[in-house]
Every structure is written in C-alpha cells, then in structure tokens.
Structure 1
C-alpha cells in the first residue's frame, strides 16, 4: 500500500502548497508525548505527502492496482452468478414471463395464448390469468377467523378448569355421540348434542375434530362458554360459543370449496403468467415490445410462486398505468427522505450552538444546567440514531407501496435506495453540499467538482476510519443479538393478546422477523464498507486492515445466520447479483474520480497552472493518468 508517513510533523503550508520533502528539515523531530492524535493520523494519510512530490506517482500506480483488483473480484463474483443462472436455466421459472395487460381483448387465457403464439417467438405451454378472488379471499379470512376463535375458546376452557382431561381422542371417540344412551337422553340438551355430533362428523381436519370433541365433553352444560352475537358482543341472542363458531367455520369452509370450483366468477386482474416451452422464448418476450399501444401488454421474467407479493398482484391497483403513477410518487417520497436526512444533521449541529438562534436563547437560559447539557448532547444523538434505525423499515414500506409484484424485487429496490442514501450521507455529503452552495453563490470561489472532491475527501479520513471501526467491532457482531427484532417480539410475547391460543403463542415466539433476512438491508452495509475501503485505500491506507477485519467478522456472522437462523422465503437463482455488482461498479467510479481530484490537486495545484514548454501541466498529467480507468468503468 502507499506509504504516506514522511516525518513526525506535518509539512507546513505556504500559500496553496506545502513544503516539499527537500524543503523540510533533514532531521525531523521525533514525536513527543503530547503529540496530537489527529496530527498523527493525518501523518498517515495523503495529506502528509508534499505538493508536487514524485511519490504521488506511487499513489497513481496503486490507483490502477486497486482498480484492477476490484475489477477482477467483481468479474469472478459475476461469473459465479452466470454459473448459477445456467444451473436454473431449465427450470419452469426461467420459462415463464409475467405479462401486464391493459388490453381488454387479452384478458382471457385463450385469447392471450393465441396472441403470444401469433408473435412466433415460441410455443406457449400454459397461460394463467390472475384474478382478484375478492369473495374467495374474504371466505378464507372468515374461515381463519372462526378457527382462531375455536382455538382461543379451547384455551380459555383449559385455563378456567372446565377441561381437565386432555388425553388424545381415538378415532372411535371422535364419532357421533350416542344420543340414545340413558345419560345423554336424560340431558336437556339431547337435541343439541345430536347436532354437535353431525358437525363433528362433518369436520375432516383431525386437529379441529379433536378440539370440538374436547369442547363437547364439557359437563355440566352451565360450564360451557357462551356469548352474544349482537353489537360488540353486548346485545343480541346469547348462543353457545363452541357450537356457534363450529357452525360458522363449516359454512365458511363449504363456501371456500365452492368458490375454488368456479374461478371464472372472479374478475380478471391486469396480470397473467405465460409459460413457454423454452427459456429463450420467455427471455425474448420480456425484452421486445410485444404491443404497439403503450401499457397494452408488457412482459417481464416472472418470479417464483413463493416470491410473489400478492397485494400488488391481485388487486384493483395492479394495472401498469396505476403502478407507473405509484412508482413516481414513491420515488419522489424517497428523494424527499434522502434530503430530510440533511435536516437531522442540521438539527444535531444546531442544539450545541443554540446561542446562534435568538428565538431559542431565552428558552435555554431558563433551563437548569443538567437539562441543558442533556438537550445539547443526548437528544440529537438519540434522534439521529432513531432516524437511521427506522430508515430501512420506512424504505421497505415505500417499496411495497411502489407496486412491485415480487418480494425479491422489493428487496432489490430497498437495497438500491438504502445504498444510495448511505453513500450520499457518508461519502459525498460534504462535497455535494459544497457544490450545492457554489451553484447558488456564483459570486464565490469558482471551483470544479473535481477540485472540491479532491480537496474535501482527504479531510474526512478520521471520521470515515471511525465509522469503519464502529461497524467492524460493534455493529457487525451485534447482528447476532438481533436487538431490534428481539425487543419487538418481547413486547408482543408479553402482550395480553399473544397468549389467547397456541397459534398466537407460536406466532409471538417464532415470527418471520426473527427467522428471515431482508437482503435489501443485509447487502447494503457490506457494499458501503467495500466502497469506503476502496475509496480511501490510497488516501488513508490505515483503513484497509479494518475493512479486512470487518469482512472477516461479517463472514462468520452471516454464515452463522444463514446456517442456523435464516429461513429462505424464495429462490431467484442469483437475481440480486447484477444490481449489487452494478452498485459496486459505481463505487469503483467514485474511487477513481476521487483519486483523480486528489492527485491532480496535490501534484498540480489547479487546472490553470501552466506546465513546462511542450509538456502538459502536472494537473493534466494526473487527470489523464486516471482517466482511462474511469472511461473503462463507464463503458
């Protein structure tokens, strides 16, 4: 790596240039005990290299070296993705396209199959048009509701002591009770018992039959739970709870079976799955314009069934035109969220300097010293931490409202937005803010973006190294604790509604929040650390060992999570790899542009500085030295 340490003291600056190594004292003074730590760290960065020093050519050489190493790693990573795509090439997933239809004549399976056959891109094997299933969805929801009520009723009976014998029932015990026996015939509810037996014999699920058999065994009848079926359970007829919910469950179950037999009764949505005989046909359908009218028929590669996010697929807002509007609105909100991060940073810097705001000065003067210190030091950090912690969840909701039809597509959008936010706020915030101020202040110093980036990026080396250290030794190992999801599930587990039934208890103790990774959030920080390490590899080489430690720790942490915690929700065949590689290529471009600016300023001073007769200036030499890498990256 480039060595930036020349002496114990930084070279003094004269005008726009510091003294070179020749001008400095030949016998540098050794570091003293009161040597400034910031100066020591700065001595290990490129800021300690004198202006116009020939050693800057070593940094240019390492810029090429690190760029080529980054290209080699990304190419090897992408080749593994290509091999994975070949492995899944023959699956039905790669032969299916997701078609979004706005043309009324193509809303039926037969018409859509005939249309794709007429394109002569391949034989159509199967076509399935998604339907809204409004009545079926309501019936399934009602059946689930009554089943949960029966489970909660069973739990209440066990807790109250009405059910003491919980031994498993045999198949003979689950048959219709004998109402002609003396004990049952003498009971005042013998007719009701006969109806209970009919309901019990009609239930096909053995678990539900066991629950009903236990509830029917409660004696005397006065111990059976009942409720009102009127408004809020306070008015109306009083009924036996077990019989009422069992009968309602059977009605909903029969309705579900009937609705599944007649899918044509449900109206069509604007989405269909078209399966071809060959993967090439599906790829062609997703890459060509298959309809002249805008939004009439748009095709793309389909996700697998587990990957589908059904609220965005089988709803009234699933049309392409509405999703385009939703996409524009959500992306606009995302941009506003990114810009609002600047407000949090500004607020964090306002409270410590409250005397600069006259309207806050009087209020702060009336506060006690401990409260004032708490507001100045603790509140900004807590608010900013809460904002950054809740940002991934907010981005997930935004991407879901964006109208994406697959969970993997939602996570890709989360990764893209979250990665952009982190890169902007960590790497490019100061430089971007300076360019923004210069744009609105044309009378100020006129500097190019290259000069601004080259001047400001090395000055934030200490903060960037501190960020990598925190990520390496604090945040990355803390992922095994799962603090956020554990706090959330702890609240749910101790809530009164989480123990109404065994199903509720199971959902509270084993939620998907604890067992499933969101790749959009998990990919972001390693990608950002990779870009940061590459960008500052030549500016502050001290960051490289810490980045290596981060990836070593992250390897074991994520390996443990993937082996023992994570439950895959879908399989895409490596579909996340292209977007990750493209974002990392943007990071390589940031590294090359930054080094172009840093080396040009350190070696040449400014663009207007003249060179020797018949030669390019030092500034132009460094720009041209890095320019081929940047052009190759863009191409």
Structure 2
C-alpha cells in the first residue's frame, strides 16, 4: 500500500452498479496495488504510481457501501474513503486537496465567517440609525434637523430596508466562496454548506441584531435590565417596534426577489451581450442550477419572522402569506421550466428546513412564555414553557427516526437495486459509459441527466466521444 496520507478513495453508489474503469486522461487514478478484491486493476498504470485522489467503482452498491464504512488500514489517515459525487456533481478543483489540510481550511473559514459577521454589524447599525432618526439626532447633535426634511419619511421608512437588501446581496456569494475554501469535493455539498452559513448569518445579523438594536437608541439608556421581568418588558417593547421595519423588508427583499426570479435580468443581460456584442446567434447557452444557498435562507428567515411576530405584531402575517403564496408558483415554475438538474440533492435540504422550523417554534414559544409572564398570566406562561420542552423532544425523536435516512443509505434498498441490475443486464450497459462520465474537462452545457442509463445521456456522450478519447 502506498504510504501517502493525501489519498482519498471515493466510492460511488449512484443509481447504477459500477466496476472500476480508470480514465486515461483526466483525473488522478489509484495505484495498481489497491487491496480490495473487487477492483479491476488497470494494465496501463505504472506499478509505483501514486495519486492524491481516486475514484473507485464497485460492481454492486452493497460492496461500495461496506467499503465506505470500513477503515482500510491501521492508519485511518492513509486511506480516507467517502461516497463519490455524481459525475456532474464533482468539484474537480478541490478533489486532490490533501486530507490533512481540510481541518485547517475549515478552521480558517470558521474564523473568516465570524469576522465577516462582525463586519456586517456596521451596515446593520447604519440601517437602524436610519430607522430611528429622532434618536439619531439626540445621539449625534450635528444631525439635528434631518428628521424635519420633506424626505424624512422615505429615509426612515423605505431606505433602511433597501440599504440592508443591497448589503445582503453580497452574503450568498461570499458564503459560497467560504464553502469552496473548505475543500468540499462536490458542488451539492458546497452549495449546502453555503446555505447553512447563510441561514445562521441571516438569523443572527438580520433578525436578532436588528431586533435588539432597533430600540437601542432610546431604550438602552433608560431601561436597566436587572431581572427576567425587565427583560420581558424590553422584549415586549422590541418586537412590536420592529414590525414596520420587517414588513418593509419583506416587501423589499421577498416580493422583489420573486419578480427578479421571473424576469431573470442577469441572464437577459448576459444573453444580450453574447448576441449583440460578441455576435453569437445562439446566445448564452449555459443554464443554471437552482440557487439553494440564496433562496432557502430567505424563505426560512421569513418563516422565523412569521413565528416570532405572530403574537405581538400579527399584521406582518398578510405580507408573509402573500410572499409564500406567490413563491410557491414562481419557484415551481422555475424548477420545472427554467433551472436545470445536473445532480440530485437527495432531499439533503429537508433536515436544514426542519431544524430552522424547530428553532423558529422554540423562539415563538419562548416569546409567548415571557409575554404571558409579563402580563401575569401564570398558567399560560407555564404551558408555553412546557411547549418548548415538547418541541425539543419532538425534534429529538425526528433526529433519531428520520435523520439517518438522509445521511445513510438503506442496505435493503441497495441489495434490491443490485439484484434488479443483475437480472436486467444493466451492468453491461453502464460500464462503457463510465469512462466518459467522470471526465474533468468535459463540457457541461445544457441539461445533463443524472441517470447514466438515460437515453439522453447516451446521446450526449456519444456526441462528445470524439474529442474525449
């Protein structure tokens, strides 16, 4: 076995059964002395050749699953095995990164995310200063008179949410860059990691920070928090006071984002440049996958706003209902008719949505318990607190019952699919396509089917076989 701690063996268990078929041109390949008995050794590889990463294909899904869950040597860092992404899901730039450097990358990204979150507090504070012009004048005397201008209502009403929306636009690309620096080897994992970072960022910087700094200008200097009762009083004043700002934010960010999704102005401009400036009749032919890291955090943030404000400021609910009503039809049309599917997410975003919903419920129940206690409704406050316990228990039950189905593959299903492939003869069909499937420099234009047995996949690869071989 090659003493190379950077080697990653990727075991593929996508829809079909596999045997090892090394690519002669594109990606790095494993040494010929791989110890697994089901690997078909390549005769063209040199005996002592080493590589940073390798794709290892098995003839059955069950064998691939077993190999991915076992340690191949006494040194766990010698052969690090994980499931391989689908062919169009591979992020080739990170494929050959040394495994021992990944924790350094993740730690650096974590620190960078914290620094970016702290920096983002500056525009958020600016936004709240625009909302509270009267208190801003008291804090900074040189700004006196700004609230008496004829544009004061526009500045304090619409401009803060517009400024915050402009700053928020840079968050998803930066989080996607951070996710890339982490060293993920698949595009889906990269987008999922960026989605999780955006959710945490939005929940803290947009919701909590705006909520607790919204009345800082006039309440923090007058109210001394000495106990739970003072905290409840502060919370009871904060939430209703920020409802108008978040209503405007929903219209500025939520409603406007739906119109942006329908019109796709960026794609229209790029297509116009290709046709008018570059004089290409076909225009811009490459299509996009659905931006989960942009749309999912926004939808979950609005859910948190709805759960939190439904008790003290229920007027925000119609704005959210309008957003979710039109969002269903807009995103359904975009997923079916506009965006393409280059890889399957396999429901990996459902646990993220579940965790965000549970967190929103707990925040709502905590607010209800505090408010009922402030109003001297002891029974209602106690029952709301009990709801928090039941919600946490329900989340624990779901994690034990359903989360393993998203993180792992059922052996029973794998064996049944292996038997079906064996009886139907699909193995002989798929083996010739492996060589052109995992190809680093292949073109990814248009909608690529993820199923290697699809007729469209066969047509696509046969058309490109000339320049690949």
Q: TM-score, normalised by structure 1?
A: 0.48
Q: Is it true that 1:412 corresponds to 2:185 in the alignment?
A: no
- 1:465-544 residue pairs with structure 2 within 5 A? 465-471=247-253, 473-487=255-269, 490=272, 495=277, 498-499=278-279, 502=280, 506=282, 509-512=284-287, 515-544=288-317
Q: Is it true that 1:342 corresponds to 2:124 in the alignment?
A: no
User: Contact (CA 8 Å) 1:455, 1:601: kept in 2 or not?
Assistant: no
User: Contact (CA 8 Å) 2:255, 2:323: kept in 1 or not?
Assistant: yes
Off by >6 Å, runs of 4+ in structure 1: 93-96, 369-382
Which of 383, 386, 389 is the equivalent residue of 1:625?
386
**Deviation of 1:567 (Å):** 1.8
Q: Is it true that 1:421 corresponds to 2:194 in the alignment?
A: no
User: Contact (CA 8 Å) 1:472, 1:550: kept in 2 or not?
Assistant: yes
Separation in structure 1 between the aligned mates of residue 19 and residue 390 of structure 2, nearest angstrom:
38
Change in 2 beyond 3 A, CA 1:584/1:296: farther
Separation in structure 2 between the aligned mates of residue 576 and residue 109 of structure 1, nearest angstrom:
36
Secondary structure in structure 2 of the residue aligned to 1:299: strand
Secondary structure in structure 1 of the residue aligned to 2:52: strand
Which of 73, 77, 81 is the equivalent residue of 1:295?
77
Separation in structure 2 between the aligned mates of residue 394 and residue 306 of structure 1, nearest angstrom:
23
Which residue in the other structure is 2:95 paired with? 313
The structure with the larger Rg is 1
Gaps in structure 2 of 5+ consecutive residues? 1-11, 21-28, 397-469
Q: Over residues 245-278 of structure 1, what are the superposed CA-to-partner deviations in whole Å (9 max), with x where a residue is unaligned?
A: xxxxxxxxxxxxxxxx966599744322333454
Separation in structure 2 between the aligned mates of residue 92 and residue 520 of structure 1, nearest angstrom:
29
Change in 2 beyond 3 A, CA 1:450/1:579: farther
**Deviation of 1:420 (Å):** 1.6
Which residue in the other structure is 2:170 paired with? 390
User: Contact (CA 8 Å) 1:592, 1:626: kept in 2 or not?
Assistant: yes
Superposition RMSD on alpha carbons, in Å? Answer: 4.6
Q: Over residues 498-548 of structure 1, what are the superposed CA-to-partner deviations in whole Å (9 max), with x where a residue is unaligned?
A: 34xx4xx64x53343xx4322222322222223332333344444444433
Which residue in the other structure is 1:149 paired with? none
**Deviation of 1:565 (Å):** 1.5
Secondary structure in structure 2 of the residue aligned to 1:272: strand
User: Contact (CA 8 Å) 1:95, 1:280: kept in 2 or not?
Assistant: no
- 1:67-466 residue pairs with structure 2 within 5 A? 91-92=15-16, 108-112=30-34, 114=35, 117=36, 124-125=38-39, 268-287=50-69, 293=75, 295-314=77-96, 318-349=97-128, 353=136, 356=139, 384-430=164-210, 444-448=224-228, 451=232, 453=235, 456-466=238-248
**Deviation of 1:405 (Å):** 0.8
Secondary structure in structure 1 of the residue aligned to 2:183: coil
User: Contact (CA 8 Å) 1:395, 1:417: kept in 2 or not?
Assistant: yes
- 1:529-608 residue pairs with structure 2 within 5 A? 529-604=302-377
Change in 2 beyond 3 A, CA 1:297/1:579: farther
Change in 2 beyond 3 A, CA 1:268/1:456: farther
Secondary structure in structure 1 of the residue aligned to 2:343: coil
User: Contact (CA 8 Å) 2:89, 2:342: kept in 1 or not?
Assistant: yes
**Deviation of 1:395 (Å):** 2.0
Change in 2 beyond 3 A, CA 1:597/1:371: closer
Separation in structure 2 between the aligned mates of residue 450 and residue 355 of structure 1, nearest angstrom:
25
Secondary structure in structure 2 of the residue aligned to 1:428: helix
User: Contact (CA 8 Å) 2:14, 2:86: kept in 1 or not?
Assistant: no
Secondary structure in structure 2 of the residue aligned to 1:92: coil
User: Contact (CA 8 Å) 1:450, 1:594: kept in 2 or not?
Assistant: no
Q: TM-score, normalised by structure 2?
A: 0.63
Change in 2 beyond 3 A, CA 1:494/1:444: farther
**Deviation of 1:329 (Å):** 1.4
User: Contact (CA 8 Å) 1:93, 1:302: kept in 2 or not?
Assistant: no
Q: How many residues align?
A: 366
